[in-house]
Structure formats: structure tokens, C-alpha cells
Structure 1
Amino acid sequence: MITVEKISQSLKNSKNQTQFTNKAAVLVPIIEIENQLHLLFQVRSKKLKWQPNDTCFPGGRIELSDISPEYTAKRETFEELGIALDQIIILGQLPKFIASFGMIIYPFVAKINHLDKLNDLIINYDEVESVFTVPIKWFITHPPKLATMFVGFKPDDNFPFDLIPNRTSNWQKKSQHDVYFYQYNDFVIWGLTAQIINSFISRININDEF
């Protein structure tokens, strides 16, 4: 027999199982090189099935055992780059992003202490191909290039148009969103990572005295 109590219990169980399946957190790491602040990036391993060789920030999916999205960002940074949790000083959180595939991304900006050179990193080469840095001032003086991505929905031949009034076989829907690109030397930073950078630069609102 269907009861309100059974429905309520089913929804609670479902929530527990899916609470973090579509959420992730990333760290925007700041390191100091020759008295200038840089952002630290990683290039994804060629062996990965999802976006191999793309430039990104350290991060990943929020796991059920993680106490918070902030902890996820720190944990993933340690797992990918070997940076200890007590070296990661969180400076603040940027607005969350919703990726085109529905993932909710929580970005955290952090200063990395006691990292004198990139060779000190313990890189997990199963996930990370290489690392590099870009001065924050460079992003301030080099706005991103902007392109447009269209996402379309077109019904299949078996779509039941007879059940929906005022729709024909020519009906389709599409949306669009902005895609940012930064090109620094031989590196192209684009997509969600570039969106996060653009948000970060807009928020700090600092002039050439930076």
C-alpha cells in the first residue's frame, strides 16, 4: 500500500544517495614567485578519459566522506599535487558554477604556503601531466577572448507530436552560453577554468599596483 510515510522514507534515502553525486570543488591556488603572485595550474594526464591534456585547477567530485566542499578542494589538491592540507590557506570562496553537463562546482581561492619551487610538488602522474604558473597581473592586463557555444535539442523521429498541441516535427530548442579563452605562451586555458579565472579577476578588482 502506498502511504505518505513510505514516500517520505523513499525520498530521504534517495537524497542521501545523490546528495553529492553532481557536485565538485576546485582550488584556485596562489603561490609567490620572485615577489609576484601567480596562479598554479595543472595539465590533465593524457591517460584520462575525461578531458585529457586540458588545463585545469586541482579539484574533483565531493565524496560522502568529505566534511565540506572546502575540504574536498584541499583533499583533491593534496592527492593530485602533494600539497599538505596545512599549507593550504583558504582566502575565500567564489560564486558556484553550474557546468554545461549539470555539475555544480564550488571554487575556493587559497594561498599555498612553504612552496618555494614547483619541483617540490609531489605530482600524481596518473591524473596530472604537468604544472605551470601564470602571474595574476597577466590576467588583469589580458582579458579573455570570448566565443559562443550553442546547445540544441531536436526531437527524434519517434517523438509523440500527436500528444503535444502546437508542435510540429520542425520544432527544436537551443540555448547558448559564453566560452572564455586565455592563451598564455603555449598554454590555452578555456572553458570552466577560464570562467573561474574571469570571476576571480573581476572580484579582486585590483589595479596595476598588484
Structure 2
Amino acid sequence: MITVEKISQSLKNSKNQTQFTNKAAVLVPIIEIENQLHLLFQVRSKKLKWQPNDTCFPGGRIELSDISPEYTAKRETFEELGIALDQIIILGQLPKFIASFGMIIYPFVAKINHLDKLNDLIINYDEVESVFTVPIKWFITHPPKLSTMFVGFKPDDNFPFDLIPNRTSNWQKKSQHDVYFYQYNDFVIWGLTAQIINSFISRININDEF
């Protein structure tokens, strides 16, 4: 028999179960090259099914075994680039982002210690095609290009329109999103990665020399 007490007990048992299935964390890695601070990027492997050859920061989905989103960002950086966890010094967290497909992204900015050259990285080529860096001051002097992405939905052919009045089978616009683009040499940085960069640059003191 369903009772209020049983419902209450069921909810108590589940209130501390954090659901990470649709959450991810990324690291915004800062390295020093010739006394100048750079952001470290990776190009996704062309073997990947999701966004091959796109430029991104290291990161990935939060696993149930991860103790925090910050740990996820560090773990993924180690798995993808071979950077040890104790080399990753977290400087702060940027506001979370909600991707157009619904995933919540937690970005963490970090200084990478004891990385003298990119050849010292142990790249996981199953996930990463290559890496490159961009001076932070370049982003300060080169604002992103801005465009718009429309996100919509369309009911399935078998959708029960008879149950819901005043619905159409056509595509319907759900929302629109700003899409940022940075072009550095031959690299195009866009989408969520560019949005994270724009958020980061807008928060640092642009009067300082990098």
C-alpha cells in the first residue's frame, strides 16, 4: 500500500544521491612559456565520434566515483595529457555553463607547474590529436567573433498529437545561443570552449601585463 510515510522514507533515502550523469568538468590550464602566460589547448582525436578535430580544454563527464567536479577536471587532464594531479594548482572556478544539449559544465582555472615544454606531455592519442598554446594577452587584444545558434525540436512521426491539442509536427525553435569564435593562426576555437575563454578573460585584470 502506498502511504505518505513510505513516500517520505523513499525521498529521504535518495536525497544524498548526487546525479552526475549529465554533468562534466573541464580544466582551463595555464602554463608559462618564456615568462609569458599561455592557455593550453588540445585538438580532439579525429577517431572520436563526438566533435572530432575540435579544439577544447581537457575535461569530461563526472563519474560517480569522482569526489568532486574539481577532481574530475584534474583526473581527465591526467588521463588525456599525462599531467600529474600534484602539478595542477587550482586558481579558481568560473561560473558553470549549460550546453545547448543540456549538459552542465564546471570550468576550473589552473596553473600547471613543472611543465617546461609541450614535449613533456604524455598525450593519450586515442582522445587527443595534438596540443597548442595561445598567449593570454592575445585573447585580451582579440575579442571573439559572435554568431547565433538556434536550437529547436521536432516531434517524432509517431508522436500522439491526438492527446495534446494545438501542436504542430513542424520544427519549433526552442532557444537561441550566442556562439563565440576565436581564430588563432590555423586554429579555430569556438562554441563552449570559446565561451569559457570569454568568461575567463572578462574576469581577469586586463590592465596587468601577461
Relative to the length of structure 1, the TM-score reads 0.90
Q: 1:155–1:172: 8 Å Cα contact kept in structure 2?
A: no
Question: CA 1:80/1:158 → structure 2, altered by over 3 Å: closer, same or farther?
Answer: closer
Check conservation: 1:154, 1:173, Cα contact below 8 A.
no
Aligned residue-pair number: 210
1:47–1:113 distance in 2 versus 1, CA, 3 Å: same
Post-superposition shift, 1:175? 1.6
Structure 1 segments unaligned to the other structure (5+ residues)? none
Structure 1 counterpart SS, 2:15 = helix
Residues 118-127 or 7-16, more deviating: 7-16
Moved more, 155-164 or 78-87: 155-164
- Specify whether residues 143 and 160 from structure 1 end up closer, same or farther in structure 2 by C-alpha distance, changes over 3 A only: same
Q: CA deviation at 1:67?
A: 1.1
User: 1:137–1:208: 8 Å Cα contact kept in structure 2?
Assistant: no
Q: What does residue 100 of structure 2 align with?
A: 100
Give the Cα separation in 2 of the matches to 1:171 and 1:51. 24
Supply the distance in 2 between the matched residues of 1:15 and 1:51 (Cα, whole angstroms). Answer: 35
User: Does the CA contact (< 8 Å) of 2:154 and 2:169 recur in 1?
Assistant: no
Deviation of 1:206 (Å):
1.3
Q: CA deviation at 1:207?
A: 2.6
Label 1:193 to 1:15 Cα distance change in 2 as closer, same or farther (>3 A). farther
**Residues 165-188 of structure 1: CA deviation (Å, up to 9, x unaligned):** 665667944321100010111111
Deviation at 1:68, TM superposition (A): 0.9
1:98-150, Cα deviation, whole Å (9 max, x unpaired): 01111111000000000000000011111111100000000000000101001
Give the Cα–Cα distance (whole angstroms) in 2 for the partners of residues 186 and 95 of structure 1: 29
* Contact 1:179 1:190 survives alignment (8 Å): yes
Question: TM-score normalized by structure 2?
Answer: 0.90
Q: Which residue of structure 2 lines up, in the alignment, with residue 126 of structure 1?
A: 126
Higher mean C-alpha deviation, range 8-17 or range 121-130: 8-17
Contact 2:90 2:111 in 1 (8 A): yes
Match of 1:25 in 2: 25
Mean CA deviation greater in 75-84 or 160-169: 160-169
Unmatched tracts of structure 2, length 5 or more:
none
Q: CA deviation at 1:152?
A: 1.8
- Mapped to 2, the partners of 1:48 and 1:168 lie a distance apart of 36
Question: How much does 1:46 deviate?
Answer: 1.1
Question: Aligned equivalents of 2:73 and 2:136: distance in 1?
Answer: 20
Alpha-carbon deviations, 1:186-210, whole Å to 9, x = none? 1110010000000000010313633
Secondary structure of the structure 2 residue equivalent to 1:125: coil
Percentage identity across paired residues of the two chains = 100
The Cα offsets for residues 26-67 of structure 1, whole Å up to 9 and x where unpaired, read as 000000001100000001111111111111000111111111
